[in-house]
Amino acid sequence: MKNKYINRSKVSEAKFRQILRYFTEDFNSTQTSKLTGISRRTISDIYQKLRLRIGSLTEEEEQLSGEIEADESYFGARRIRGKRGRGAKGKVPVFGLLKRNGKVYTAIVRNCERKQLMPIIKGKILEDSTIYTDGWTSYDSLVLNGYKHHRIYHSKNEFARGKNHVNGIESFWSYAKRRMAKFNGVPKNKFILHLKESEWRFNHRGDNIYKVLMRELSKNPL
């Protein structure tokens, strides 16, 4: 019988729904293979297609506005404290934007210099929004680009001053790193998919993501 959720697959709809349920519960491919009796290779292929779809959905999100937190983080080997860019050798630098009480957006960047970050900010945040950052110099031109800008200086052991903080985006970094740690290492060529999946899961933290994906796949099969 044809599977309406995934094209050209020998997996039945009932089995696919079961696989999707385990995926949304964040089981890895080995665990799902054991639970469903379907080969790990087939499960991995379906997981890959799901992550590619999720990645495309994250890029369709609307621009952010209002109060936004901006920050960078580093995934991989341990970073030298206090250093960015060259001090983060062997790590993957990621830039993030979080609308307070709303959604997050992430992007892998070559480094955390202004020429890397500003195009993302201008592309994802509407002008006249208020942006909260730490004291990193790459954010020096935010006011000149039409934004309201407030800083918190971590280098001076300052982490919050009223509404002036980046605690929200830092909470997302912690969530993403904890989630990826469960997989005992993510291959570098698949890191972007796991990053965007973490972003998507975070943005749907109040939703039944199984139902969200079922609705998406009913309209647009894999």
Is the Cβ–Cβ distance between 169 and 69 less than 8 Å?
A: yes
Counting beta carbons within 10 angstroms of the beta carbon of residue 32, is it exposed (0 to 12), middle (13 to 18) or buried (19 or more)?
buried
Parallel, antiparallel or unpaired: strands 130-133 and 104-108: unpaired
- Do residue 51 and residue 97 come from a single domain? no
Phi, psi at residue 26, to the nearest 5°? Answer: 70, 30
Number of folded domains that form the chain? 2
Q: Which of left, alpha, beta for 203 (phi over 0: left; psi -120 to 50: alpha)?
A: alpha
CATH number at residue 162: 3.30.420.10
The answer to the question of residue 182 being in a domain is: no
Is the Cβ–Cβ distance between 116 and 133 less than 8 Å?
A: no
- Do residue 73 and residue 21 come from a single domain? no
Range of the domain at 93: 67-175
- Do residue 47 and residue 136 come from a single domain? no
**For 84-108, how does the pLDDT look when each residue is reduced to its tens digit (9 = 90+)?**
544 466 789 999 999 999 999 999 9
The answer to the question of residue 27 being in a domain is: yes
- Do residue 120 and residue 210 come from a single domain? no
The answer to the question of residue 119 being in a domain is: yes
Is the Cβ–Cβ distance between 120 and 144 less than 8 Å?
A: no
Q: Which of left, alpha, beta for 201 (phi over 0: left; psi -120 to 50: alpha)?
A: alpha
Average pLDDT, the chain: 91
What pTM, to 2 d.p., does this model score?
0.90
- Do residue 81 and residue 100 come from a single domain? yes
- Do residue 122 and residue 155 come from a single domain? yes
Element containing residue 20 per DSSP (H, E)? helix 13-24
- Do residue 86 and residue 40 come from a single domain? no
Q: In DSSP terms, which residues pair with 150 in a beta bridge?
A: 132
The answer to the question of residue 3 being in a domain is: no
**For 157-187, how does the pLDDT look when each residue is reduced to its tens digit (9 = 90+)?**
655 566 778 999 999 999 999 999 988 778 8
The answer to the question of residue 8 being in a domain is: no
Give the mean model confidence (pLDDT) for residues 110-135: 95
Could you tell me the CA-to-CA distances from 86 to 39, 80, 117 in Å, in that order? 42, 10, 16
